[in-house]
Amino acid sequence: MLEFKIIGKIIKTYKTKLAITYSLFSIEMLGALLRPFFLGLAINDLLKGSYLGLIYLSVCHLTWLIVGTIRHMYDTRTYSAIYTSLVTSFLHRKLTTTNVSKLSAHSTLSREIVDFLETDFPYIIEAIYNIFGSLILLCFYEKTVVIICFIILFPVFVLSFFYGKKMRSLTQHKNDQLENEVNIISNGNKDSINNHYKLLRKWQIKISDKEAWNFGIMEILVLIIISASLLVSTNFLGTSVLAGTMIGMYNYLLRFVSGLDTIPYLVQRYSSIKDIANRIDIKEEDVVLDFALV
């Protein structure tokens, strides 16, 4: 599919810079994943009069902080270089063959492809850490909770499938309207301009409503997971469980459901990227390495 070819070409062209930023992000996510574990350990150790857990927590947090700071600074340099190279190459090729309205819209939409690499692909990495990392660490607390989490994955994937189909249609209608924006404005017809923005508002409201319904259903599933897991864990672990253990378990439940919340969002973004890639006709030769920007 075109969207995968273009993204794959970008990744291949800028593989070194992207490998560095994704590696830094993975280390950052690992630190964020381990913090609840060390937080629970620190609380349990402090209750026993030991500071060892607090030392582990401090080291983990400082490592996460340093890596995250470096990664944020490096990200801007990487993705701004990719976008500048991509959009200038694309515009040079299309400048004499496409009307100005579409060209303006397409140059803006092409930014979303780079945004996918900058924002959404890290979300995928984060979701993997939150879902599977949390499940692994929850095994150290109570395996029955892990079974409950696995069961809830099925309705989430079914919901995301139908959500994605609807969002593809709504995104296509919205982008159809955006392509004509410059022409409509340049014509200066007040009725056409008013109608254009009314239609944009209509499609944005439909997209927002769909997001809201999906959010509501997902949060009901989240409530079910948390309630069932806490009930099961207290029954199995008993009332003598340490406070730090319950805090750690609850944090990993929150991370797990946070990962679940990411799935519908990524489905929506994929729908948008697929429509954009087919619409703006970016070709693999548009992805060039500009050494002046490296």
Q: What are the pLDDT digits (tens) for 242-259?
A: 677 778 888 888 888 888
Residues 6+ apart with CB under 8 A from 80: 293
Q: Which two tokens stand for residue 215?
A: 């959010």
Tell me the C-alpha distance between 117 and 111, whole Å: 10
For the segment 171-194, what is each residue's pLDDT rounded down to a tens digit? 878 877 777 776 777 777 778 888
**Within 13 A of 140's CA, how many CA atoms are on the CB side?**
16
Query: What CATH architecture does domain 2-286 belong to?
Result: Up-down Bundle (1.20)
The 10s digit of each residue's pLDDT in 166-176 is 887 888 788 77
Residue 291: the pLDDT is: 42
Instruction: Tell me: pLDDT of 69 over 80.
Output: yes
Total-model pTM: 0.65
Q: Is 166 exposed, middle or buried (0-12, 13-18, 19+ CB in 10 A)?
A: middle
Residue with tokens 């948008």: 272
When pLDDT is averaged across residues 272-279 and rounded to a whole number, the result is 68
> What are the structure tokens assigned to 88, written together?
């200038």
From CA 287, how far away is CA 85, in angstroms rounded? 7
Helix spans in 120-242 (H):
121-128, 134-138, 143-179, 181-187, 190-237
Average pLDDT, rounded, for the chain: 77
Looking up tokens 């976008």 gives 83
CA–CA dist 146, 121 (Å, integer): 26
End-to-end CA distance of the chain: 28
CB count in 10 Å sphere of residue 12: 11
For 229, the token pair is 């897991």
Q: Tokens 């780079």 map to which residue?
A: 114
Q: Around Cβ 207, how many Cβ atoms within 10 Å?
A: 18
